[in-house]
Structures are given as structure tokens and as C-alpha cells.
Amino acid sequence: MSDGPGVPTTEKVRGVFTRIARDYDRMNRVLSMGLDQGWRRRLVREAALTPGCEVLDVAAGTGDVAFAIARTGVPALVIATDFTPAMLDIARVRAASRPALVGGSTDVRFEHQDGQALTYEDGSFDVVTVSFGIRNMPDRAAGFREACRVLKAGGRYLILEFTAPRAVWFRPLFRFYLGVVVPLLGQLITGDRASYQYLNDSIMQFPTPEALAIELKDAGFSEVRWVPMLIGAVNLHVSTK
């Protein structure tokens, strides 16, 4: 794969998230105008977790999905994984500051893993989630294959991701926000314009929900559907192994 502006490579992605880890949560709240946690809560609702279930969160970053699951109080095991140590460090610090949450009925653990080459056995999990992470994988098909491999038969795979919206009136606004406002805020708040420019370029290059559904079916998933949010700029894909 060529190394264009929005094209992920392992080195580029790890570099970006190592640089922005400290400001990642604050920037998410600012850039999404407080909406991002609601999107993750929707993912957790669609996951339909049952007591005793085992969840793998891939590209977990600073742990928001794991914490959202823990907040439901479902007695579950959540293994939150990422391949950028700086992001996992923040996740662990956040977890340590919430002992009642992550030490409650939901058992949350953090592990270093590459989502394209997981070390778990086949059929280990009831649910696999990936929130704003699949876009950053250089080999997305490998990420899908691995998710499918580690899921139990009938297990659910949930992907939350941005894409360029289809609505004609919203597209220019979204483009302006991504291309001008986000890099500017990235510069002002974190001093790192380039990292936010990459993240934005990667959103504009991400496939449509229909195209992603075909990729998911090719990887072995069935019953692929998606829930559009933010006028189609964010989509939650739900599929079954």
C-alpha cells in the first residue's frame, strides 16, 4: 500500500497516537462537541452483552469503550487491546483512578496487541468491538479476519467509524470542519497540526458503509447491518460470525 496523506502505515499510526495520547480524550470531546461518548454508548447497547460474556476491544486507545461497558454494570470480562503503548498507558492511569468502575462487576484488563495479528485462540470471545480504530489499520482485511477468527460462532462484531457523509448539503460542511477547523484546533490545543491532518485525510478515504459491508462478508461475517449517526458521518456496523 502506498504512503499517501491519509493512508495508514504502522509506523505513521503509532507515531500519531504516541504524539497525541496525552491530549486524545480532551480533543475527542472538543472535536465531537461532546457527541463521541454517546456513539460509544450506542455501540455498547447494540453489543447486547449478557452476564458472563467475554469482550475483546481492539484498538482500545485510552479505554473509552471498556469504561462504557463497565458503566453498564454487566458482569463481563473486557480485554481492551492496542498497539500503541502511550495510549494504553493513559488507559491504565484512567482505570486506576476508577477502581470502583473497573474492579466492579465488569473485569477490565489492558493488553498490548496488534489487531491485525491477535495472539488469542480461535473462538475466544462473544463480542469483538473496534471504535475509531479500523480506519487506522494498514491491512483492514487482516483486522476483519482476525476479529472473525477470535469470535465464537454466533459472536458479534461491532465497528464504530467515521466516513464521508453522503448528504449533499452536509458534505461541504463536513469537509470544511475536517479540513480547516480540526487541524486548526489540533494546532491550537495540542500544537500538532500534522497528526490531526492525517486523521482527517484518513476519514475522507474510508469506504462507504455499503463497501465496508462487502469487505465484512468477504471476511466471513453475515447479517451485516449498520446504524448511521451524525447524518451518516459516523456509522456503527454490526455483524455476526
Ligand X SMILES: C[S@@+](CC[C@H](N)C(=O)[O-])C[C@H]1O[C@@H](n2cnc3c(N)ncnc32)[C@H](O)[C@@H]1O
Site string for ligand X, 31-60 (x = CB under 6 A): ----------------------------xx
C-alpha cell at position 81: 487491546
Site string for ligand X, 132-161 (x = CB under 6 A): xx--xx------------------------
Min dist. Cβ of residue 212 to ligand X (A) = 16
Of 208, 80, 216, the C-alpha closest to 148 is: 216
110 touches ligand X by CB under 6 A: no
Rounded to whole angstroms, the Cα distance separating 195 from 192 reads 6
Min dist. Cβ of residue 169 to ligand X (A) = 27
186 touches ligand X by CB under 6 A: no
Site for ligand X in 1-20 (CB under 6 A): 13, 17
Rounded to whole angstroms, the Cα distance separating 221 from 238 reads 10
Min dist. Cβ of residue 63 to ligand X (A) = 8
Contacts of 72 (CB under 8 A, 6+ apart): 44, 49, 106
Candidates 80-88, 101-109, 207-215, 222-230: pick the segment binding ligand X (CB under 6 A).
80-88
Handedness of CA 96, 103, 86, 160 (dihedral sign): negative
Min dist. Cβ of residue 167 to ligand X (A) = 24
Task: Measure the CA dihedral 184/188/189/191, to 10°.
Answer: 100
Rounded to whole angstroms, the Cα distance separating 50 from 219 reads 25
- Choice from 27, 69, 84, 151 touching ligand X (CB under 6 A): 84
Binding site residues, ligand X, CB under 6 A: 13, 17, 59-61, 64-65, 82-84, 87, 114-116, 131-133, 136-137
